[in-house]
Structure 1
Amino acid sequence: MANPRQANVSDHDYDLPALENSFEEEGTVFDGLDSRMDEIQTALKRFDDLEKKLEGIENRMDGIGKATKENTENIVKLKERVEHLTLENKELREKCLESERYKRRWDLRLMGVPEKDNENTREVVLGILTRVVPMSVEKLRDTVDTIHRLGKRGAVNNNMPRAIIIQFAMRTVRDEVWRKSKEARVCKEMKIYFREDFSKEDRAARAKLWPMVEQARRSGKRAFLKEGYALIDGGKVVP
C-alpha cells in the first residue's frame, strides 16, 4: 500500500512565510503591549503626582482650618474686649458728664446785658444781683466766685451781647438768685434774664424733650425738664 505522504515532503519542513508572518504579528502584539504598559506607567505616575498634590492640598486645608479657628477665637476675644471697653467708655462718659453737671449747678448764665468797651463785667453783674436778692455788694463779692462773658466779642454777627457766666461760691445764694430772678424788676427793666448753665449734651436733650413736655402739659399731665431727661407724670423720659 502506497504511503499517503507526498513525495519530497519532510516531516521537518515548515512554512517559512507563514512563520515569519506569525512572528511579525506577535511582534506587533508585543509592541502594542509595550505601548500599553508605557501608558499605564505614565497614568500611574500621574496618579502618584495627583495624590501628592492632594496630600499637599489637605495639609494646606488643615493649616487654613487651624488658622481660621485661631482667628475666630481671637475675633471673639477682641469682640468681648471691645464690648468691655465700650461699656467702660460709656460709664466714664457718664461720670464725666455727671461731674460737669455737678459743677454747673453752681453757675447761672445772664443773658441780654449790653456790652461796653473796657467794661468791668464783674461790677456790672454785682450791681444787677443786688437788685435781684436783698444782699449787699460786699457780701455778694464773697459769695460770687468768677464772672465773665462767654466767647470772643464779635464772633457771631447778630449784634447780640455775649452771655455772662456767673460762678457762685455758695449754692444757696445761686439758688436764691435763680428763684427771685423770674420776678425781679431789674430783669424786666433791662430786658435781661437768667438761665441755668447746662452742658452741650443736656441742652441737646432738652431741645428734643421740650415738645414732649409741652404736649404732656396741654394734656393735663405734670411734666418737667431736668438735666438730660424729662419727668412726665412721675415717669422718666430720655431722648
Structure 2
Amino acid sequence: MKAEVTSIRNDFSELKKTVRRLESRQTEVEGDITSLKKSMQYHSEEYEDVAKKLEIQTKEIKVLYQLKKELEEVKVQNRKLRTDVNASEQRDRLLNIEIVGIPERDSENLNEIILKIGKSTEIDIRNDDILQVNRVTAKLKVQGRPRNIVAKLRTRQLKDNVISQTRKRRLSTKNLDIQGSIIPVYINEHLTIYNKNLLKKAKEIANMKEYQYVWTKNCRIHVRKSVTTPAILISDEEDLRKII
C-alpha cells in the first residue's frame, strides 16, 4: 500500500511538472502570437503607407504627362505663330533687293546707284521702277562695313532679273563708277532676320552633308543634294532635319 501511495505521489509530481511546462509553453505561444500581431499590424501600416505614396506618385505622373502634352501643344502653336509672323514679314519684302558692299558717301544718291546697276547689267530700270530705297543698319554692326542698301522695285520679275544678272556678271564697285578700291557687290533677296539665320544654318548643314545647292527663290529657302535629287523647302528650323 505504501508503494502505491509513493507511486501516485510520483505520478502527481510528474503531472504537475508537465502542467507547468504546458503553462510555460502556452505563455510562449501567447507571446509569439502577440508579437506576430504586432508585426502584422506594422507591415499592414507600412503597406498602407507605401500604397498611399504610390497613389500620390501615380497622380503626379499623370499631372506630368498632362503638362508635357500641354507643353508640346504650346510648342506647336508657337511654331505656327512664328512661321505665320515670319511669312507675313517676308511677304512685305517680296519686291525688295538687298545690296551688299557699296561704300557709303555723304552726298550719295541711292536712286542713281540702282539705275547704274541696271545699266551695268543691261536691265531697263527707270526712276518710277524704284518705289523705295534706303540704307539699313544691321542687327550686329561691324566696324568699317557699309550699311546695306534695300530697294523696293515695281515688279517681282524686275527684282528677279536684277538678282540673276548681277550674279552672272559678278558686279563690283568698278562697274558702278564708284571711286576707290574695287569691292565685290552682291544683290540678294531681302530676307527677314529669321530667314537669314535659317539660310545660314541651312548652308552649314548642307555643306556638312555634301549638298551641292542652296538657294532662295521668291524669298523661300531651298536645298538640293544633286541635280538628280528633288529640292527640299526649308521653312523653319524643324525642316533642317530633312537635310540628311
TM-score between both structures, scaled by the size of structure 2: 0.65
From 110, 114, 126, the counterpart of 1:125: 110
Q: CA deviation at 1:179?
A: 4.9
TM-score between both structures, scaled by the size of structure 1: 0.66
Query: Do the aligned partners of 1:203 and 1:228 also contact (CA within 8 Å) in 2?
Result: no
Query: Do the aligned partners of 2:100 and 2:186 also contact (CA within 8 Å) in 1?
Result: yes
From 19, 32, 40, the counterpart of 1:43: 32
Letter in 1 for 2:232: V
- Partners of 1:185 and 1:55 lie apart in 2 by 87
Query: Do the aligned partners of 1:129 and 1:177 also contact (CA within 8 Å) in 2?
Result: no
Report what 2:126 is aligned to. 135
Report what 2:51 is aligned to. 62
Q: Tell me, yes or no, if structure 1 residue 146 matches structure 2 residue 143.
A: no
Q: CA deviation at 1:108?
A: 2.4
Following superposition of structure 1 onto structure 2, how do residues 1-239 of structure 1 map, counting pairs within 5 Å?
A: 22=11, 24-115=13-104, 119-120=106-107, 123-133=108-118, 134-136=125-127, 139=128, 143-150=131-138, 151-152=140-141, 154=143, 161-168=145-152, 170-172=154-156, 174-175=159-160, 177-179=162-164, 181-182=166-167, 183=169, 187-189=173-175, 190=178, 191=183, 192-198=185-191, 199-209=196-206, 212-214=211-213, 225-226=216-217, 227-230=220-223, 235-238=230-233, 239=243
Query: Do the aligned partners of 2:110 and 2:133 also contact (CA within 8 Å) in 1?
Result: no
The root-mean-square deviation of aligned C-alpha atoms, in Å, is: 3.6
Q: % of aligned pairs identical?
A: 14
1:224/1:129 Cα in 2 relative to 1: closer, same or farther (>3 Å)?
closer
1:233/1:225 Cα in 2 relative to 1: closer, same or farther (>3 Å)?
farther
Q: CA deviation at 1:164?
A: 0.9
Unpaired runs of 5+ residues, structure 2, are 119-124, 234-242
Structure number with larger C-alpha Rg: 1
Query: Do the aligned partners of 1:206 and 1:229 also contact (CA within 8 Å) in 2?
Result: no
Q: CA deviation at 1:166?
A: 0.8
1:99/1:71 Cα in 2 relative to 1: closer, same or farther (>3 Å)?
same
The CA deviation string for residues 92-111 of structure 1, in whole angstroms up to 9 with x for no partner, is 23223323432343432222
Query: Do the aligned partners of 1:105 and 1:197 also contact (CA within 8 Å) in 2?
Result: yes
Letter in 2 for 1:201: L
- Partners of 2:83 and 2:136 lie apart in 1 by 28
- Partners of 1:225 and 1:178 lie apart in 2 by 11
The CA deviation string for residues 89-129 of structure 1, in whole angstroms up to 9 with x for no partner, is 3222322332343234343222222245xx25xx3432211
SS at match of 1:228: strand
Matched residue count: 208
Letter in 1 for 2:83: E
SS at match of 2:113: helix
Query: Do the aligned partners of 1:132 and 1:186 also contact (CA within 8 Å) in 2?
Result: no
Q: CA deviation at 1:20?
A: 5.9
Letter in 2 for 1:235: P
